[in-house]
Structure 1
Amino acid sequence: MDILAIVERIGEAPTAALFGLITGMLFGIAAQRSDFCLRAATVEFARGRLGPRMSIWLLTFSTAMVWVQGAQLLGLMRSEDARMMAVPGTWSGAVIGGLLFGMGMVLARGCSGRLLVLAATGNLRSVISGLVFAVVAQMSLHGALSPLRDALSGIWVTAGGRNLDLLAALHLPEASGLVLGLALAALAIVLSVRNELGVTKLFMASGVGFAVAVGWVLTYGLSQVAFEPVQIESATFTGPSANTLMFFLVPETVLKFDIGLVPGVFLGAFLSAALKRELKFQGFEGAGNMQRAMIGAAAMGFGGMLAGGCAIGAGVTGTSIFVGTAWLALTCMWIGAVATDFLVDQRRGSPVPA
């Protein structure tokens, strides 16, 4: 792809939005076809199972690492230039935000990325939850909740004005990230075979990880030819959901990667579901479920912004380049989700998600 030619033809900002759209569509198609969902994986784990959802999540997690680390070894991107690596991270935000996000995704029955994919298939529960998530995320970024987020984030931050690169901090060889990704991918394939997952599921789960790598490579390539500074980033849904909401509410908002990403995921998931004839309107089953989902979505909106990313942004995109706070946030998301399932759903006798 000749990125310079695209920039000269349509401009830098539209190119960034186009790259977000491409990344989002790849993600939406693959996530819809694979049923990728961190919440379902954590619930399976909490119930003592390493089932199909755990297999799919682990395959996505590991292949994102493989694709991204491979791209870095080939010189297609540099993780040290990525925005989430180049800015200070917050350890306290990762812990508190990760726990809140993990709790929220169990209550809302899906993380922010999964809600967006389900909304595209006609799930009105996910539409409402997604809107609550985006509004609270915006409030946490620039609104009434931003002072609280700043206070909690400032309790414990990374040293040196940058986030922590785990590979560099542990003095590991450059190829160690790729080796770890391959080892985890092999484990994921073993679990997938044991759970009798089909080839399509395996391919599409890997496709979610591939979409993350595409985002990194495209934004890095754009940064090398653009006149103005360009953020090197990839799939995440906390900040982009808030920014996309404001783009449609405030006409002066400019185009960027975020603005293409969220519509791209929605469009990709919609097209995938339409081709499979899986479009179907679904609503809440009672006021109690609606209340629970809205509380969960609000917890994810604040928690994701505090943690510096959602289940995708921190849990897959950030970990693929070994951002220290992203790994801590993902760990805390698992802890929060498992604890919430045990305290809320298991005590009520709720079944493992299908």
Structure 2
Amino acid sequence: MLETLIDTYGDGAVLAMAGVLVGVIFGAAAQHSRFCLRAATIEVAERGLGPRLSIWIIAFSAGVLAVQGAIAMGVLDVSQSRQLAATGSLSGAIIGGLMFGAGMILARGCASRLLVLSATGNLRALVTGLVLTIVAQSSLRGVLSPAREGLATLWTVPGGAARDLLAHLGLTSAAAATLAAAALAGGVALAVLRHVRSSHVLAGIGVGLAVGLGWLATYAIAQTSFEVIPISSVTFTGPSTDTLMGLVNSTSLPLGFGVGLVPGVLAGAAATALVTREWKIERFGPDTPMERYLAGAALMGFGSMLAGGCAVGAGMSGGAIFALTAWVAVTAMWVGAMATHLLVARPTRRAVPG
């Protein structure tokens, strides 16, 4: 069937269709589960193990379980993915991850969360996401690219086994899948303890499964096609910049997985918000200063390109295949977010009445 689709519509169109499908699943699941790395880091920074942390653990571990389980069963091979095969940057993962973590606190959401919120009528998220995308494009090919390249070359790691965290740990994919299953069980237990709705738990699992489906879909298409097709999964900064630049610079948009992913996420999140009656217009206000959002967007735009992806692209998709730089980046995002939250949300002392 896949071969027939490729022969009929071409590689790009089939990749775009796969992107739409994965995007719809991710968008719907992320909206309903309230999946958000920023919210999870805030709970940990405030010394609490709350519902948002449980959802993040569930989504992350479900993604790892799906991907490593597929590898263990021999139906997926990610060794040629960019995150493993190409030269990586540990300095970029650290510095970019810290910047991204700080930015998502200021902007009240990471790249994926801003995209999901934009589909629910949140104009703050829409404006912030556009600024993030423009800064990311400038960091990739524009005026900020020399600074990004300079920071990225400070500490590099070659592709292959040196960038494979499982190889460093001496673990197999089956062992990684087993550990992920245990983490998933722990996340579900925490969710039950914190009275998280069962539908939110299932949606959190759906977020992780969307990441696994992305890897499986692009791998299957790459194996079927006669062209060289890079395998990938859910990520947002790169596809968002490609989509935006394609729309403003060209009369036609080259089709690919990322081009289908972005509108798919918007459609899935918007449909879920409409069904649950959560769609509403939200604007900047006195309690939501625009300058703070724009600063956060700039930090995330540059940081994501330096770190090799956003909280989902590097943190979940890269983390699910155990790319060393991805795990370093997501750790730095956690550190940067928690430190920034503690700095900007420091409680003010109140005068005690005499």
Q: When the two structures are superposed, what TM-score results if normalisation uses the length of structure 2?
A: 0.95
Q: Paired residue for 1:216?
A: 215
The 1:207/1:128 distance shift into structure 2, 3 A limit, reads same
Q: Paired residue for 1:126?
A: 125
1:292-307 matches, within 5 Å, as: 292-307=292-307
1:67-146 matches, within 5 Å, as: 67-146=66-145
- CA drift at 1:159: 2.7
Between the aligned partners of 2:288 and 2:143, the Cα distance in structure 1 is 27
Between the aligned partners of 1:22 and 1:160, the Cα distance in structure 2 is 30
Between the aligned partners of 2:263 and 2:88, the Cα distance in structure 1 is 28
Query: In the TM superposition, what whole-angstrom CA distance separates every residue of 1:47-84 from its partner, at most 9, and x where no partner exists?
Result: 11100000000100111011111111222211212222
Query: In the TM superposition, what whole-angstrom CA distance separates every residue of 1:115-167 from its partner, at most 9, and x where no partner exists?
Result: 00000000000000000011011111111111111110011110357761111
Partner amino acid, structure 2, of 1:138 = Q
1:154 matched to 2:153? The reply is yes
Does the 8 A contact of 2:88 with 2:159 survive in 1? no
Q: Paired residue for 1:320?
A: 320
- Segments of structure 1 that go 5 or more residues without pairing to the other structure are 350-354
1:1-354 matches, within 5 Å, as: 2-159=1-158, 164-251=163-250, 252-286=252-286, 289-347=289-347
Partner amino acid, structure 1, of 2:315 = G
Q: How big is the alpha-carbon RMSD for the aligned residues of Structure 1 and Structure 2?
A: 1.4
- Segments of structure 2 that go 5 or more residues without pairing to the other structure are 350-354
Does the 8 A contact of 2:161 with 2:167 survive in 1? no
Between the aligned partners of 1:347 and 1:154, the Cα distance in structure 2 is 39
The 1:314/1:160 distance shift into structure 2, 3 A limit, reads closer
Does the 8 A contact of 1:84 with 1:163 survive in 2? no
- CA drift at 1:339: 0.3
Query: In the TM superposition, what whole-angstrom CA distance separates every residue of 1:230-270 from its partner, at most 9, and x where no partner exists?
Result: 11000011111111111211225411111111111011101
Does the 8 A contact of 1:98 with 1:336 survive in 2? yes
Between the aligned partners of 1:68 and 1:348, the Cα distance in structure 2 is 45
Between the aligned partners of 1:153 and 1:253, the Cα distance in structure 2 is 29
Does the 8 A contact of 1:88 with 1:163 survive in 2? no
Identical columns (%) = 47
Partner amino acid, structure 1, of 2:40 = A
Between the aligned partners of 1:176 and 1:103, the Cα distance in structure 2 is 33
Does the 8 A contact of 1:88 with 1:162 survive in 2? no
Query: What is the total number of aligned residue pairs between the two structures?
Result: 348
Comparing 88-97 with 161-170, greater Cα deviation is found at 161-170
Between the aligned partners of 2:162 and 2:294, the Cα distance in structure 1 is 32
Comparing 222-231 with 68-77, greater Cα deviation is found at 68-77
Does the 8 A contact of 2:100 with 2:299 survive in 1? yes
Does the 8 A contact of 1:92 with 1:152 survive in 2? yes
Between the aligned partners of 1:10 and 1:272, the Cα distance in structure 2 is 30
- CA drift at 1:286: 3.0
